Structure 1
Amino acid sequence: MRWILLRGLAREQAHWGAFLPQLREAFPEHQFFPVDLPGTGVHYKDRSPATIPDIRQHVQQQVAHIPRPYSILALSLGGMVALDWAQNTAEGEIQHLVLINTSSGFSPPWQRMKLKAWPRLLRILSRRELFDRERGILALSSNRPLSQTVAKQWYSIQRQRPVSAGNALRQITAAARFHPGSKRPLTSALVLASKGDRLVDWRCSRALERRWQWLLKQHPDAGHDLPLDDPQWIIRQLQAFLGDE
């Protein structure tokens, strides 16, 4: 099975960190392809589109060389791209869909980005020192004790492949505009949510579960960056989901 991995707002494939090798160890018979959204990672010099469908088309072009069908595991903004992809592709192209802390237009704005998160996020983004900004983003998106090692890694990523303010704003605009169609993309999908997410309300995931009768699993205390906070929990949910087929 071939998996496409998509990260979230202003993040790139390097931000998967230890989660990717753990996935490959847990599923040695599967192939995992982390893909950068336009404006991030290897495409950091590109201009990010300001709509989810346009971002999705860029991603589809990047994976055109990979034999189909695919499965997709995606976090946050990446989950919106995955959801749009699943609704706008040939039947059978996508086998499995795993969405992590993803929101959509099915939920109100104050759940898609918690009101309490905005002041802190704006303060973080206003910091002049890059290391302080990355450390602040890590502290907001993770509920685990602050890791200086991870903060340094994130700082290094941003130093090497900086996401411009313009691209971040266009991604935010795309996310805010996104509203899926009414068509259920797949009969079954796995939706993972963090009850401790301080950025996105877990009820956004519940809205997807209830609308399309998908499987929702909730982590009791992890933050928005669930692959960072508890990668083994995700792997266990994925093993159970695939084992139920």
Structure 2
Amino acid sequence: MHWILLRGLTRERGHWGDFPRLLAEAFPEQQFHLVDLPGTGVHFNDTCPDNIAAIRERVSRRVEHIPAPYSILALSMGGMVALDWAQHAPEGEIQNLVLINTSSGFSPPWRRMKPGAWPRIVRLLSRRELFDREADILRLTCNRPVSLETMKLWYSIQRQRPVDFRNACSQLKAAATFKPRPERPLPDALLLASKGDRIVHWKCSEALEQRWQWTLKVHPSAGHDLPLDDPQWIIRQMESWLPR
């Protein structure tokens, strides 16, 4: 099975850290592909659309060389792209969905992005001191101590593949206005949420669970960037859920 990994707002493949390696070790029979959203990573020079449907169309075209069917593991805004993809894909193209700390128009705005997070994120995205900005993003999205090495890595990523402020605003608009179709795209999906998330309320995942009777697992203390805070917890949930 080919897995597509999608990151969130203004983040790219480099921000996964060790998580892809840990996934490959835990699931050696699976293949994991790190795919960047428009305006980030290898596509940082591209103009990002301001709606999830157009972003999803770009992403799906970029993986056409990978044999279908696919499974998708996605974080935050990447989860919105993954959900939209599953709702528009031909039957059988998407086999598994693992959505981490994502949200949708099924939840009220104050849960999709907590009120205290909005001004802080806008300030962060507009800061010019790159190292301080990336360090502050890590402090906002992670609840566990972040190493200086990780801060330096994120600074290096932004230096090499900078995300344009206009692309960041387009991604913010796309995330804020996303609302899925009412129809359930798959019989089951794995929803992973963090009670300690300071950006997105974990009840946004619960809203999807209740609407479509999907599987929800909630981490008691991790932050928004669950793959950095506790990657092994994610892997354990996948190991329990995938043989269903």
TM-score category of the 2 structures, normalised to the smaller one = over 0.9
Q: Which residue of 1 aligns with 2:84?
A: 84
The residue aligned with 1:104 is 104
Secondary structure in structure 1 of the residue aligned to 2:152 = helix
Partners of 2:131 and 2:40 lie apart in 1 by 18
User: 1:118-137 to 2 correspondence within 5 Å?
Assistant: 118-137=118-137
* TM-score normalised by the chain length of structure 1: 0.98
1:52 pairs with 2:52: yes
Match of 2:169 in 1: 169
Are the aligned partners of 2:125 and 2:168 in contact in 1 as well (CA < 8 Å)? no
Counterpart CA distance in 2 for 1:119 and 1:84 is 27
Deviation string 1:173-218 (CA, Å, 9 cap, x unpaired) is 0011100000100001000000000000000000000000000000
Determine the structure 1 residue equivalent to 2:142: 142
Q: Identity of paired residues, percent?
A: 68
Corresponding residue number in structure 2 for 1:217: 217
CA distance in 1, matches of 2:17, 2:145: 16
Verify the 8 A CA contact 2:194 2:226 in the aligned structure 1. yes
Question: Which residue identity lines up with residue 121 of structure 1 in the other structure?
Answer: I
> Post-superposition, which runs of at least 4 consecutive aligned residues in structure 1 deviate over 6 A?
none
Matched, 1:190 2:190: yes
Secondary structure of the corresponding residue to residue 33 of structure 1? strand
Does the Cα contact within 8 Å between 2:125 and 2:165 map onto a contact in 1? Answer: no
The letter for the 1-side match of 2:49 is P
Stretches of structure 1 lacking an aligned partner (at least 5 in a row): none
Match of 2:199 in 1: 199
After TM superposition, give the deviation of residue 149 of structure 1 in Å. 1.0
Secondary structure class of the residue paired with 2:73 = strand
**What is the count of residue pairs matched by the alignment?**
244
List runs of 5+ in structure 2 lacking aligned partners: none
CA deviation vs aligned residue, 1:74-104 (integer Å, no higher than 9, x gap): 0000000000000001111000000000000
**1:170 deviation in Å?**
0.1
Secondary structure of the corresponding residue to residue 104 of structure 1: coil
Amino acid at match of 2:7: R
Deviation at 1:148, TM superposition (A): 1.1
1:228 maps to: 228
Residue 145 of structure 1 aligns with an amino acid whose one-letter code is P
Aligned partner of 1:34 in structure 2 is: 34
1:126 positional shift: 4.2
